[in-house]
Amino acid sequence: MEKRQALIFLPVLAVASFLVKISGSSSFRPVLTGPDLAFSGPRVVFRCVASNVSPPVVYELIKDGRVRIGRNRDFQGGQVASFPIKVTAASEGSYHCRATAGGTTEISNSIKLRVVTPPSYTRVTSEPFPPVAYEGSRMALSCDAERGSNLSYSWFFNRKEITSSTSLPFHFVENKLLVERVTPEYAGNYSCTAWSSVNEIKRISSSTEVQVTIKVYVSKPEISFSVHKEGTSYHGNVTCWSTRGSPPVNLYLLLDGKEVDSVTAAQTPAAWFLVVVVPELDMGEARCRVKTENQDLTSEPVNLEFQLEEM
Ligand SMILES: *[C@@H]1O[C@H](CO)[C@@H](O)[C@H](O)[C@H]1NC(C)=O
Ligand SMILES: *[C@@H]1O[C@H](CO)[C@@H](O)[C@H](O)[C@H]1NC(C)=O
Ligand SMILES: *[C@@H]1O[C@H](CO)[C@@H](O)[C@H](O)[C@H]1NC(C)=O
């Protein structure tokens, strides 16, 4: 019973599909192809074609439903109309094509083009600036590209890319590289690249290197006193040093609280001072003082006296 009914319906369906074909030939559907994502700079091509239409056909590329970008004629039929456009940031928008033939105009599908601007003139800026940070302080480096959209960033420390498996901890926040508390290990050369990609094609802009210096706070200075004989006179040698601390530092010799000599130590936080000494005479109490731009520390005192039998 079921089968018989299906057979009766079959001719009816055939007629229906025939009717659709006839009406389809009178209205044609142009098809637009082209990119939906492109770098600004190079050319891209939109192409439009309508099939089953008698020439001549006029094709127009329309942007955002209003602006005509180009116009092309096909006198032979079946020819693809090409619309090359040079991509700029202003090319972003929605495109469709319009085909006119035999007094009928038909509209194609639309393509939404998004434009990615490649990065350029990338550089690293630092906070603090200049890039000199004290141990324990915060450091923030920014990767700034003068131009570019949809950018991603990569960072390099002494020419090696910083990744999550880099032994020193770093934080990445947008275009920034952050360290909450720097230690001397963070001293070195940093650079970055900004990049954007379109369909697996990467455009990269690299910065130059920025040399970061990490300063170590000086420790309380130590003092020592020694005497040596020169001819008939004696010279005392007061040596001052901090076991840690970044140069340059200023070292001062204080005698009974008064500054009598000073030295700027550029290599290591240490210096020595020569003092004339007279045996058996107490020449006072010496101390060392070490000063940097943000520290001022004084050593324990040492008495500048010696007995001849000690020599
Ligand atoms: C660019 O990034 C924005 C925000 O992250 C996103 O909405 C947009 O789709 C991206 N554009 C492209 C072309 O990838
Ligand atoms: C960093 O760069 C400077 C100058 O180019 C160079 O003298 C120094 O050796 C570099 N430091 C490291 C750790 O590569
Ligand atoms: C003073 O002592 C330091 C070490 O304590 C030494 O390096 C320096 O050469 C001495 N200076 C003189 C003139 O002997």
pLDDT digits (tens, 9 = 90+) for 86-140: 999 999 999 999 999 999 999 999 999 999 999 999 999 999 999 999 999 999 9
**Which of 62, 90, 116 is a domain's end point?**
116
Find the ligand nearest to 113 CA.
Answer: 1
Q: Which tokens sit at 126?
A: 């630092």
Distance, CA of 226 to CA of 306 (rounded, Å): 9
> What's 263's domain CATH number?
2.60.40.10
Q: What is the mean pLDDT of residues 26-43?
A: 91
- CA torsion sign for 249, 250, 255, 258 is negative
pLDDT confidence of 15, banded at 50, 70, 90?
Answer: very low
Residue 309: the pLDDT is 62
Asked whether residue 10 is assigned to any structural domain, the reply reads no
Q: Is the pLDDT of residue 27 over 90?
A: no
Q: Which of 251, 268, 272 is the pocket-test mutation for ligand 3 (most atoms within 8 Å of CB)?
A: 272
Does the beta carbon of 189 lie inside 6 Å of ligand 2? yes
Q: Tell me, yes or no, whether 87 and 124 share the same domain.
A: no
How many A from CA of 161 to the centre of ligand 1? 25
Q: Is the pLDDT of residue 18 over 90?
A: no
How many A from CA of 150 to the centre of ligand 1? 6
Residue 215: the pLDDT is 94
Percent of the chain with pLDDT over 90: 78
CA atoms within 13 A of residue 87's CA, in its CB half-sphere = 21
Q: Is the pLDDT of residue 7 over 70?
A: no
Q: Tell me, yes or no, whether 124 and 211 share the same domain.
A: yes
Q: Is the pLDDT of residue 25 over 70?
A: no
End-to-end CA distance of the chain: 132
Model confidence over 220-258: pLDDT tens digits?
Answer: 999 999 998 888 888 899 999 999 999 999 999 999 999
Distance, CA of 153 to CA of 172 (rounded, Å): 9
Asked whether residue 5 is assigned to any structural domain, the reply reads no
How many A from CA of 259 to the centre of ligand 3? 20
The H or E element containing residue 11 is helix 2-26
Q: Tell me, yes or no, whether 102 and 141 share the same domain.
A: no
- Residue 186 is given by DSSP the state G
Residue 288: the pLDDT is 97
How many A from CA of 62 to the centre of ligand 1? 24
Tally of domains in the chain: 3
Asked whether residue 15 is assigned to any structural domain, the reply reads no
Q: Tell me, yes or no, whether 277 and 249 share the same domain.
A: yes
Does the beta carbon of 213 lie inside 6 Å of ligand 2? no
Asked whether residue 168 is assigned to any structural domain, the reply reads yes
Asked whether residue 3 is assigned to any structural domain, the reply reads no
Model confidence over 56-82: pLDDT tens digits?
Answer: 999 999 999 999 999 999 999 889 999
Distance, CA of 176 to CA of 163 (rounded, Å): 14
Percent of the chain with pLDDT over 70: 91
Ligand 1 atom 5: residue of nearest CA: 150
**Which of 186, 215, 244 is a domain's end point?**
215
Taking the model in full, what pTM does it have?
Answer: 0.74
Ligand 3 atom 11: residue of nearest CA: 237
Model confidence over 162-198: pLDDT tens digits?
Answer: 998 889 999 999 999 999 999 999 999 999 999 999 9
Range of the domain at 51: 24-116
Asked whether residue 70 is assigned to any structural domain, the reply reads yes
**Which of 195, 215, 235 is a domain's end point?**
215
Q: Tell me, yes or no, whether 227 and 205 share the same domain.
A: no
Asked whether residue 187 is assigned to any structural domain, the reply reads yes
Q: Tell me, yes or no, whether 203 and 253 share the same domain.
A: no
Q: Which of 174, 194, 190 is nearest to 182 (CA)?
A: 190
Distance, CA of 166 to CA of 199 (rounded, Å): 29
Q: Tell me, yes or no, whether 135 and 95 share the same domain.
A: no
* Cβ contact 199:37 at 8 Å: yes
Residue 306: the pLDDT is 81
How many A from CA of 164 to the centre of ligand 1? 25
Q: Tell me, yes or no, whether 236 and 305 share the same domain.
A: yes
Q: Tell me, yes or no, whether 38 and 124 share the same domain.
A: no
